[in-house]
A and B are shown apart, each in its own frame.
Chain A
Amino acid sequence: MSLMKRISLIFRSKANKALDRAEDPRETLDYSYQRQIEMLSKVRRGVADVATSRKRVELQVAQLEQQSQKLHDQAQKALSMGREDLAREALTRKSGLTGQISDLRAQQAQLQGEEEKLTLASQRLQAKVEAFRTRKETIKATYTAAEAQTRINEAFSGISEEMGDVGMAVQRAEDKTSQMQARAGAIDELISSGALDDASQLGQGDDIARELDAMSKDTDVEAELAALKAGSSPQPGAIEPGSGQQATAAAEEPQKEEGQS
């Protein structure tokens, strides 16, 4: 038997099993409507859950991108100071992040897709539940229990197939989301452990930044010293030798303090 036929028969047998439960067929209408309303809120909760996961991944992408930019800046700074080794280290770390970022982006797109699918599913179910409610009232008002059966069967099978479909969609979205949440949790841990934060705070904890910072202080001191010397040497006669030395020492003092902090 064809695949399409087999699946539809399985759906139908589920629907029939559910239908057999009530004694007065008209009661099945209210019972079913109740379950439809529950399914509607379930699919809406599903949409909200997937959206939460998507936002979490988006936040992680933003954090990692910020970190990646900082490593790029550090590499540039290191190069400008002639430290190719440090620049290479920074870029190596950056390339590690790049892989993670593109992985997260793919997850983000997948979650977005699930969110859209569930939103559409909830709209379709909503339309069918509305149609069912109208049909239900008509059947209850117009027909005796005996007469109602056929009409109820028609309305019921139409909606129960949709319920099965939507129920599956919610289940699939939950499965996919929970897989991603486990990975998102691992990245959150990495971020909150400080393994990434350290490097993002220039000069605190991160070895590349620390070394660059130390180097830039040294070169700043040297540059300032050179400037001072250059400024004082052309007119050695204008200033007494004693006061010139004092000025140089005074200029050097705050740099030393900064270097120690």
Chain B
Amino acid sequence: MIVRILGEGQWDLDEEHLTALNRLDEEVEAAVESGDEVAFSNSLNALLDGVRTTGSRLPDDTLHDSDLILPPADASIDEVRHLLEDEGLIPG
């Protein structure tokens, strides 16, 4: 399973780690919905750390798309909301 952290790169993760990360992902999602910046920042950073520590970094010249994509570490809730809109931040 390949995971990208925006602004950082891609990691290869074993499926077994996904359960723990999914729980953190739910926390991030809940924080985005409630607009709680502190909870959002804490859970996002825990999630990103989980990916960085349990996954292995893919070389920069890997041409493979990711199964999961995560916001950058310093993202705000607004940026994540914008990212989820179809006309969001990603240049077409």
Contact = CB atoms under 8 A, between A and B. Distances in A.
Contacts of A124: 9, 60
Interface residues of A, number: 40
B90 interface: yes
B6 A165 contact: yes
A158 B62 contact: yes
Interface of B: 3-4, 6-7, 9, 22, 25-26, 28-29, 32, 59-72, 79-80, 83-84, 86, 88-92
For chain B, what secondary structure do more than half of its interface residues adopt (helix, strand, loop), or is it mixed? loop
Interface string A1-15: 011111110111111
Contact of A4 (B3, B9, B64): B3
A154 B62 CA distance: 11
B25 to A, nearest CB: 5
Contacts of B68: 2, 4-5, 7-8
A8 B68 CA distance: 5
B4 A161 contact: yes
Interface of A: 2-8, 10-15, 17-18, 117, 121, 123-124, 127-128, 130-132, 135, 154-155, 157-161, 163-165, 167-169, 171-172
Contacts of A172: 7, 72, 79
